[in-house]
């Protein structure tokens, strides 16, 4: 099965890094002003979730995001971890679910996601776990809206198993905000 192409999501925490990583001017040429990175606009905070929108050259992006409540094992060396649901109406991509893990995973591995009693298999690509298709995205979002917890289990490249647990408190409200902002009908 071919893995779907998923575009990189810019989170507010990533913007300073992206700006700082811009190439420096050479000593012989004057520095040109760097194009401004798109700034996310907070639509609201809803318990454990936040909703944002931002405009990129390819169009508007709306996303709901949360951080894990629990990450195991605690000794796993990791960066930022997030669970996201994203709409990109100009690309006809809605309800795209991704789990940013904050560490590299075993190449060509999968992640097991439990939402309440529902089980889903995601694929991993570097530091992110994705659903395999848009139908699964819709099923995952539906399960998230009616459940209270989300857990992703993956195999880090460093070995062992890691598990991130998220609260879904506030998810439905954050989803409603991004649906409204990007004109997504349920």
Domain count within the chain? 1
pLDDT bin (cut points 50, 70, 90) of residue 34 is low
6 in a structural domain: no
pLDDT bin (cut points 50, 70, 90) of residue 31 is low
Q: What is the pLDDT of residue 24?
A: 34
71 in a structural domain: yes
Q: What is the CATH number of the domain that holds 144?
A: 2.60.40.1880
Domain residues for the domain of 54 are: 38-181
Nearest to 153 by CA among 86, 101, 97, 76: 101
29 in a structural domain: no
DSSP 130-169: E-SSHHHHHHHHHHHHH-SEEEEEE-BTTSS-EEEEEE-T
What distances in angstroms separate CA 103 from CA 31, 100, 113, 128, one per listed residue? 34, 8, 17, 8
20 in a structural domain: no
Q: What is the pLDDT of residues 64-86, one digit of tens each?
A: 999 999 999 988 888 999 999 99
pLDDT > 60? residue 117 = yes
Q: What is the pLDDT of residues 129-154, one digit of tens each?
A: 999 999 999 999 999 999 999 999 99
């Amino acid at each position: 099965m071919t893995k779907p192409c998923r575009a990189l999501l810019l989170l507010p925490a990533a913007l300073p890094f992206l700006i700082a990583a811009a190439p420096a001017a050479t000593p012989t040429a004057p520095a040109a002003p760097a194009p401004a990175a798109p700034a996310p606009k907070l639509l609201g905070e809803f318990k454990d979730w936040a909703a944002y929108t931002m405009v990129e050259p390819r169009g508007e992006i709306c996303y709901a995001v949360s951080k894990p409540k629990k990450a195991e094992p605690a000794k796993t060396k990791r960066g930022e971890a997030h669970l996201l649901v994203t709409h990109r109406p100009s690309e006809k991509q809605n309800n795209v679910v991704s789990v940013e893990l904050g560490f590299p995973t075993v190449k060509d591995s999968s992640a097991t996601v439990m939402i309440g009693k529902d089980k889903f298999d995601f694929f991993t690509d570097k530091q992110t776990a994705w659903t395999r298709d848009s139908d699964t995205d819709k099923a995952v979002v539906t399960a998230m809206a009616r459940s209270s917890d989300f857990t992703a289990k993956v195999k880090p490249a460093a070995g062992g198993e890691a598990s991130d647990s998220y609260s879904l408190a506030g998810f439905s409200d954050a989803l409603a905000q991004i649906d409204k902002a990007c004109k997504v009908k349920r």
